[in-house]
Amino acid sequence: MADPRLPISDDDLLVSDEPEDFGIFYDRHVRNVLGYFARRTIDPEVAADLTAETFASALSARRRYKPGRAPAGAWLFTIAARRLSDYQRHGHVETRAQKALAMQRVAVAAEDADMIKLLADDVAISMLTELPGDQEVAVRARVIDGDDYDEIARREHVGQAAVRQRVSRGLATLRGRIGGPR
């Protein structure tokens, strides 16, 4: 479903006082940030934790964001790079920003880990087209576009369970083709 607020620029979203606007900013960038960390850490759990700390840092720092100096995406990735550097230096993911915001750690389920690995893997994404049509549609909608199972099911005129099965099979096929565990 098209979001009528999408034309709002990242700059506007960052300086907005409306909490939901930060959610929209997050929606626009979370997959790129997850992919960035996953490519560099080869560990979906670490990538997820670094992503959480990056967005928490961005949330804390957004009042100091200065539109016009750097694109908001670049600004976000500067924060991401700092968090990565902290992780590489200390060997663990800092959670200071999340703690300061009283945020709870979000657990990474097996399916989340698969999704994060896929986001990290350009080869896997390029191989999506080799999946059977219904699996490609399901994986693309779920993993790349971030659609809800419910939404995909309605669009494809099938049940949620069928969509889950297509995503699961599609991811398993991709893992097998790129050499990962099935």
Partner 1 sequence: MSDYIVELRRELVEAADREQRSRAPRRAVRRSRRLLAPVLAGAAALAGAVAVTIGLQGEDRPPLPARPQVQVTLKLDGKPAGATLGPSSASTRTTAGTSPSATVDIEPGKTTTAPPGTAINVAPGQRSGSGSSVWVLRADGALLEIDPQTDQLIRTEQVAGTGVQLSASQGNLWAVARQGHSYRVTRLRMGGLRQRHVVRGTGVLTGLWPVSAASSTALWLQGDPQLEDNAPLLRVDASSGRVDGAFTAPTLSAIAADTQRVWTLSQSGTLEWRDAHSGRVVGRRSGFAPLADATSQNALASADDGGAYVATAGDGVVTRVSADGETRWRADVDADGPVAAAPGALWASQAAVDGAPGAIARLDQTSGKITQRMPLERSQTPTQLVPVSDELWAILNDGTVLVLR
Note the residues at the interface with partner 1 (CB under 8 A): 17, 19-20, 22-23, 26-27, 30-31, 34, 48, 51-52, 55-57, 59-61, 64-71, 73-82, 101-104, 106-109, 111-112, 115-116, 142-143, 146-148
Sequence-distant (≥ 6) Cβ neighbours of residue 64 within 8 angstroms: none
Task: From 18, 19, 21, select the one nearest 10 (Cα to Cα).
Answer: 21
Q: How far is the CB of 113 from partner 1 (least distance, A)?
A: 9
For the bound state, the minimum distance from the C-beta of residue 92 to partner 1, rounded and expressed in Å, comes to: 19
Distance (Å) of CA 11 to CA 54, 153, 167: 17, 34, 34
Residue closer to partner 1 (CB basis): 79 or 131: 79
The amino acid that residue 33 corresponds to is V
The smaller minimum CB distance to partner 1, of residues 71 and 176, is found at 71
100's tokens: 């300061």
59/153 with CB nearer partner 1 = 59
CB of 128 to partner 1, least distance (A): 16
Residues near 69 by beta carbon (within 8 Å), at least 6 away in sequence: 75
